[in-house]
Structure 1
Amino acid sequence: MRRVTLVLVSLLSCLSVLVRGEDPYLFFTWNVTYGTLSPLGVPQQVILINGEFPGPKINCSSNNNIVVNVFNNLDEPFLFTWNGIQQRKNSWQEGLPGTNCPILPGTNYTYHFQVKDQIGSYFYYPSMGMHKAAGGFGGLRVNSRLLIPVPFADPEDDYTILIGDWYTKSHSALKKILDSGRTLGRPDGVLINGKSGKPDGNDEPMFTMIPGKTYRYRVCNVGLKNSLNFRIQGHDMKLVELEGSHTVQNVYQSMDVHLGQCYSFLVTADQEAKDYYMVASTRFTKSVLTATAIMRYANGKGGPASPALPEAPAGWAWSLNQFRTFRWNLTASAARPNPQGSYHYGQINITRTIKLVNTAATLDGKLRYAVNGVSHVDPETPLKIAEYYGIADKVFKYDIIKDEPPTSEDKITMEPNVLNATFRTFIEIIFENHEKSVQSWHLDGYSFFPVAIEPGTWSPEKRKNYNLLDAVSRHTIQVYPKSWAAIMLTFDNAGMWNVRSAALERQYLGQQLYISVLSPARSLRDEYNLPDNSLLCGLVKGMPMPPPYSIGA
């Protein structure tokens, strides 16, 4: 009996160690409601999270478990997506219409995901309809655990800056415009953390810096339509991180931040102790929209900020040249893509090349945007759930677009757009932009290597110009007018992953697709099971649950 007792005590002790050793959990309860604010001086309906606009920040460290209980108090179905967070083996938490059933009005749903070693700057936003045009977005930062050093000293403080263009019309009014076949037209202004600012020196400071100290500024473009240029009056910005990757630490006076992108800068308070303007303004537009916010020196007695705002650069060639200066910091231990993690991507043989061309056309007299001639529509049954239940053939067809776009760009069809990809293959994707506007593309579930952006059209001989050594691993890439961009990645993350235009109007009108990466075995080594709390809708509602994945499969 004594021996049995000792064995039980030992087992309980081991279990206790295992429980204590589990990665930390961070719990959030979010109440999503409508509210009335005046970001551009005009009262309008916005989406609040716990009464906040922008929403609350998620401040976590690598390997933390994030649990977010979302209560939808809107009058419409709702979802959140986590822009740039790689859901390893877990596209169930993506929060997109292709992966999740919506949270219905008056109900709640709990997201549960783990951030891995993707130390860096991200944001979240509502993914259904035109909700993002009303707010509901917020910053998400992943800090380094103490065991993982970063290639710069700890800053005095860490500031999140969400910049973006903005409309004064409600999201429902904007949706009606698009549904009627029209385009949204020019935004009404630009916001910095939900405010437009007045360049008269009378605004309260958004941030305060102590003279001589260095601060980290995380800048993300959460806007709807335009690339923006960000700059701080009289101060240099040292780039240290870009969408989860540490960079070679070049110094810039201004930075083009395209839709969906995030950058981290170190800024030192080394100027006269007074107020200075942070400036965000639209790029590549005929009329420039500008927002300002005040950065103040603590105990500064030098007076208000100068009304002479620093000017943004002109032309997209300047922006392309800036992109070419970005280099991955190969000596840093983190951040790096996980689990790709190889610095030798240039030595891996390409097994497949996919060329994606964005197009615009009218269908039944209404504007639609497409990829390779197909304008995506979300079926009632989410694509991933249909696949898991074995009824994909009743919901969508794979590979209705080919790896090469059609020769005619003025004909499009509307249907779910899903590419089938082979698990763990190394592939090349070419984004080719035949239009006169700058495009921005985002890929969920992965970091990729942007090896080139060049004017003209792509051909295989262009590979000789690729950066095969130190391209910055990231998840969003811009494509300039009449230009192309090439990215490389390994499809090593099983799931259903969205490739989308970061422009909300284009995304809503069909310029997106999904890539299905199926593991050959239904194994937990490759992909998690459908969570027990998953919402069910469409054809699978009421169906028996399929056999779960197992480790031994």
Structure 2
Amino acid sequence: MGEKKFVLLLCFFAAAMSTIRGEDPYLFFTWNVSYGTIAPLGVPQQGILINGQFPGPNINSTTNNNVVVNIFNNLDEPFLLTWNGIQHRKNSWQDGTLGTMCPIPPKTNYTYHIQVKDQIGSYVYYPTTAMHRAAGAFGGLRVNSRLLIPVPYADPEDDYTVLIGDWYTKSHSTLRKFLDGGRALGRPDGVLINGKSAKGDGKDKPLFSMKPGKTYKYRICNVGLKNSLNFRIQGHTMKLVEMEGSHTVQNTYQSLDVHVGQCFTVLVTADQKPKDYLMVASTRFTKSVLTGKGLISYTNGKGPASPEIPEAPVGWAWSLNQFRTFRWNLTSSAARPNPQGSFHYGAINITRTIKLVNTAGKVDGKLRYAVNGISHIDPVTPLKLAEYYGVTEKVFKYDIISDNPPAKDADKMTMAPNVFNMTFRNFVEIIFENHEKSIQSWHLDGYSFFAVAIEPGRWTPERRKNYNLLDAVSRHTVQVFPKSWAAILLTFDNAGMWNIRSEVAERRYLGQQLYTSILSPARSLRDEYNIPDNALLCGVVKGMPKPPPYSI
């Protein structure tokens, strides 16, 4: 080879390597979703497995990684997964809800491409179609900090994901028939920890092990359908270090209330006598308490776990007081190399206040749940596709609910697609007001928000004096206690169609959700990505030519 050719090839190779290094790393997964028999509470039932696993595989990623998941749907009905808490910057196309994507048809596959852009923390994924979440197909998704970003605690000895949740022994199809027939799910049959519940008969295998004197990270997520759970570990305290993507002030707790859809990360030090100990998750705010257990074993430990389970707290006032102890760690770094404390959200003027009131009622004699009187239904054409293709008039109407619903309309209920039209980059206050006797858990896709207050009673503007405007935790899920309200603040700067939903599965399925449409006036790639080349099309847009793509 001549010298000039060699130099040209060397330059080409160097340029190619520079390009490769310039793009964030990729992680590739192939998941086969199928039915399988499981018996987590001793009763054989049909479960939904991912690569034969229940719960599904854990995704271990790092800030800014591109996560590519090729899902083969081997079920006999359509299927979708949502990546709960992942913000999908400029990319609601990958959100995995029926308002943004066509479900994956049976015996076909679809490849998700998500980027965990500027995020850290503990998250979960789960199905959003039918009542598939009641059969499995959920798992943990962790986003580790990049090495150049300091973490406000020493590296733990190991990192464990703990998925807790209530569980029904009835099949997901039976539970769906209950809801479609107008009745609630009723009381669950038990509580699972990582798909199991220890029997305490001396034959249980440990879920995790700890070396004496070492400190471990536990990522605790409630993947259940209905119940808030209290989590605790025999003889050990937990130091809270992260919550739904934000480092927190490192308070120490004997137990933590984890509401549906929420994730907490704690540090636990193996500083007790070397033997076995029980993790305990028990239902909160229920007449009869259901308890799930899992075993932790000290290496070289001797002796079984004590049968005495540490007591759980009583009442929702205890849980409210615990919420008030959660604080953002303003001295730590975020996923980006700038301090979290630089986001002075308390100094931003509110441009819009929206009150969302949840109600329960009946339509045509069947149970439904609503937000401001509208019980959401998913049209055959996903809302995002209808908007992108310019055929919204055939699918839905914007703003069919008011920002401040009249009290006299509280008992009225209508079924329709429910979409708020938001102004891009407006700073908005949302009040979740709960007039019912049951606890609520609300989640917003595509964003983190500042949970500035939870208080009993009804919200009025005077209640703003109780807001935490300094160090409220930036998170994506917030609970609302009975006869109470919660306030969140956020900037709607992530263009797309995003789901606001109840994390209580039967409420979401029967209408307690809505969507927010945030359109960038510039229609630019700087604000939102184009529809993916592999996007599935359904409903009225099936077979239509793609609109002209956005440009820079």
Give the TM-score of the pair, scaled to structure 1: 0.97
* CA distance in 2 between partners of 1:230 and 1:445 (Å): 27
Query: Do the aligned partners of residues 27 and 147 (structure 1) sit closer, same or farther apart at CA in structure 2, a change above 3 Å counting?
Result: same
Which residue number corresponds to residue 139 of structure 2? Answer: 138
Which residue number corresponds to residue 376 of structure 1? Answer: 376
* CA distance in 1 between partners of 2:278 and 2:262 (Å): 22
Is the contact made by 1:337 and 1:473 (CA closer than 8 Å) also made in structure 2? no
* CA distance in 2 between partners of 1:400 and 1:307 (Å): 55
SS in 2 for 1:17: helix
Which residue number corresponds to residue 247 of structure 1? Answer: 248
Identity percentage over the alignment? 77
Is the contact made by 1:246 and 1:335 (CA closer than 8 Å) also made in structure 2? no
Residues 38-72 of structure 1: per-residue CA shift (max 9 Å, x gap): 11110000000000000000000001100000000
Which residue number corresponds to residue 203 of structure 1? Answer: 204
Which residue number corresponds to residue 44 of structure 1? Answer: 45
Which residue number corresponds to residue 456 of structure 2? Answer: 455
Which residue number corresponds to residue 297 of structure 1? Answer: 298
Which residue number corresponds to residue 149 of structure 1? Answer: 150
Q: Please tell me the residue identity of whatever aligns with 1:479.
A: V
Is the contact made by 2:330 and 2:339 (CA closer than 8 Å) also made in structure 1? no
Query: Do the aligned partners of residues 214 and 136 (structure 1) sit closer, same or farther apart at CA in structure 2, a change above 3 Å counting?
Result: same
Is the contact made by 1:232 and 1:277 (CA closer than 8 Å) also made in structure 2? yes
* CA distance in 1 between partners of 2:512 and 2:342 (Å): 31
* CA distance in 1 between partners of 2:35 and 2:312 (Å): 35
By how many angstroms is 1:341 displaced?
7.9
* CA distance in 2 between partners of 1:549 and 1:340 (Å): 32
Which residue number corresponds to residue 396 of structure 1? Answer: 396
Is the contact made by 1:224 and 1:259 (CA closer than 8 Å) also made in structure 2? yes
Which residue number corresponds to residue 185 of structure 1? Answer: 186
Which deviates more from structure 2 when the two are superposed, residues 144-153 or residues 196-205? 196-205
Q: Please tell me the residue identity of whatever aligns with 2:94.
A: Q
**CA RMSD, Structure 1 to Structure 2 (Å):** 1.7
Is the contact made by 2:361 and 2:413 (CA closer than 8 Å) also made in structure 1? yes
Which residue number corresponds to residue 326 of structure 2? Answer: 326
Residues 2-52 of structure 1: per-residue CA shift (max 9 Å, x gap): 999977864663233112332111000000000001111100000000000
Residues 495-531 of structure 1: per-residue CA shift (max 9 Å, x gap): 0000000000000000000000000021000000000
Is the contact made by 1:340 and 1:490 (CA closer than 8 Å) also made in structure 2? no
Q: Tell me the matched-pair count.
A: 550
Is the contact made by 1:44 and 1:170 (CA closer than 8 Å) also made in structure 2? yes
Which residue number corresponds to residue 315 of structure 1? Answer: 315
By how many angstroms is 1:212 displaced?
0.3
* CA distance in 1 between partners of 2:341 and 2:20 (Å): 29
Is the contact made by 2:451 and 2:488 (CA closer than 8 Å) also made in structure 1? yes
1:348 maps onto 2:316 in alignment: no
Which residue number corresponds to residue 492 of structure 1? Answer: 493
Residues 284-323 of structure 1: per-residue CA shift (max 9 Å, x gap): 000000000110100012x101100001000000000000
Is the contact made by 2:450 and 2:488 (CA closer than 8 Å) also made in structure 1? yes
* CA distance in 2 between partners of 1:309 and 1:472 (Å): 31
* CA distance in 1 between partners of 2:150 and 2:430 (Å): 33
Is the contact made by 2:333 and 2:340 (CA closer than 8 Å) also made in structure 1? no
Is the contact made by 1:118 and 1:337 (CA closer than 8 Å) also made in structure 2? no
Which residue number corresponds to residue 69 of structure 1? Answer: 70
Query: Do the aligned partners of residues 321 and 36 (structure 1) sit closer, same or farther apart at CA in structure 2, a change above 3 Å counting?
Result: same
Q: Please tell me the residue identity of whatever aligns with 2:362.
A: T
Residues 235-266 of structure 1: per-residue CA shift (max 9 Å, x gap): 00000000000000000000000000000000
* CA distance in 1 between partners of 2:485 and 2:202 (Å): 42
* CA distance in 2 between partners of 1:338 and 1:432 (Å): 34
1:471-490 map, 5 Å:
471-490=472-491
* CA distance in 2 between partners of 1:279 and 1:148 (Å): 34
Which residue number corresponds to residue 359 of structure 1? Answer: 359
Query: Do the aligned partners of residues 166 and 92 (structure 1) sit closer, same or farther apart at CA in structure 2, a change above 3 Å counting?
Result: same
By how many angstroms is 1:201 displaced?
3.7
Structure 1: tracts of 5 or more residues without a match? none
Is the contact made by 1:373 and 1:412 (CA closer than 8 Å) also made in structure 2? yes
* CA distance in 2 between partners of 1:422 and 1:528 (Å): 18
SS in 2 for 1:324: helix
Q: Please tell me the residue identity of whatever aligns with 2:443.
A: H
Give the TM-score of the pair, scaled to structure 2: 0.97
* CA distance in 1 between partners of 2:382 and 2:339 (Å): 27
Is the contact made by 1:209 and 1:297 (CA closer than 8 Å) also made in structure 2? yes
SS in 1 for 2:463: helix
* CA distance in 2 between partners of 1:16 and 1:121 (Å): 32
Structure 2: tracts of 5 or more residues without a match? none
Is the contact made by 1:84 and 1:444 (CA closer than 8 Å) also made in structure 2? yes
* CA distance in 1 between partners of 2:190 and 2:157 (Å): 32
SS in 2 for 1:63: coil
Is the contact made by 2:449 and 2:475 (CA closer than 8 Å) also made in structure 1? yes
SS in 2 for 1:548: coil
